Amino acid sequence: MKKAIALVLAMLFVLAGISALAESGKLTLATNVNFPPYEFYDDETGEPTGIDIEIAKAICDKIGYDLEVVDIDFGSIIPALVAGKYDFSAAGMTVTEERKQSVQFTDTYATGIQAVIVPADVEAADINALLEAKGGHMNIGVQESTTGDIYISDDFEAAGTAEVKRFKNGADAVLALTAGQVDCVVIDNEPAKAFVAKNEGLRLLDTAYTVEDYAMAFPKDSPVFEQFNAALGELMADGTLQAIVEKYIPAE
């Protein structure tokens, strides 16, 4: 009997969530709008745009919701989703087992590469060669709470071979690199390429640090998750998603 009551209550909570969303007519997207080309502010309109924003907008149009984009620190996104402050996140977010304990992820829609930004005169081919050139210890800049932060902390900070300097966003980490405060910055490849293009005297190391999968994150009790994920699958199948990606990352 208790199980039946619990099931009924759970269904009522879900229905209440669906009703609230239907009444508001919008989904709120939490992201960090400083991660080009996935999310950034348009120079002309001042509005958030990019791969994640356009994909989210296309899905919302498909399932009948308006989209509201909220710009917050990356490290605050998952706690905010768990607390029910926002409906979902699209933020170039990598799927990890640790994150899956707190949120549920859509199907993967993009592959990310962790790249290493260094001064242009650095001759090292990969991050381990850079470490050797620095005498076995270096300062590494990362965007806090990203997988770059996690991997670098596990691989270098834990081994005592690097001091990790954490920044609110990638732009601040790159600024620290140009000021000589860190020896390199580890961040996703596409933002890394955008930062290098905008800052003279920087380059990417030839060897990628690691490869990972991106997905959108939802609270585990989200009443719209299944519908949203199904729409994402349809956009992947009909070519809409690839067209959005190639708008910002032209096929080579």
Query: Which token pair is 107?
Result: 């199907």
Q: Give the C-alpha separation, 39 to 52, whole Å.
A: 6
For the whole prediction, is pTM greater than 0.85? no
Q: Span 2-109+215-248: which CATH code?
A: 3.40.190.10
Q: Where are the domains of the chain?
A: 2-109+215-248, 112-212
> 71-76: which pairs have CB atoms within 8 A and are 24 or more residues apart?
71/31, 71/32, 71/33, 72/30, 72/31, 72/32, 73/32, 73/144, 73/168, 73/169, 74/32, 74/35, 74/143, 74/144, 74/145, 74/146, 74/168, 74/169, 75/144, 75/145, 76/30
> How long a stretch of residues is the chain?
252
Tell me which fold the domain 112-212 belongs to. Answer: D-Maltodextrin-Binding Protein; domain 2 (3.40.190)
**137 neighbors 161 (Cβ within 8 angstroms):** yes
170-178 vs 189-198: helix crossing angle, rounded to 10: 50
Residue 159, Cα to own-chain centre: how many angstroms? 26
DSSP lists the bridge partners of residue 27 as 67
pLDDT of residue 252: 62
Q: Give the C-alpha separation, 179 to 219, whole Å.
A: 39
- Per-residue pLDDT in tens (0 to 9) along the chain, 252 residues: 444 444 444 444 444 455 456 467 999 999 999 999 999 999 999 999 999 999 999 999 999 999 999 999 999 999 999 999 999 999 999 999 999 999 999 999 998 899 999 999 999 999 999 999 999 999 999 999 999 999 999 999 999 999 999 999 999 999 999 999 999 999 999 999 999 999 999 999 998 888 899 999 999 999 999 999 999 999 999 999 999 999 998 876
**107 neighbors 215 (Cβ within 8 angstroms):** yes
In eight-state DSSP terms, residue 75 is: G
| Residue 162, H or E segment | strand 162-167
**192 neighbors 249 (Cβ within 8 angstroms):** no
Q: Give the C-alpha separation, 181 to 162, whole Å.
A: 13
Query: Which token pair is 188?
Result: 């996703």
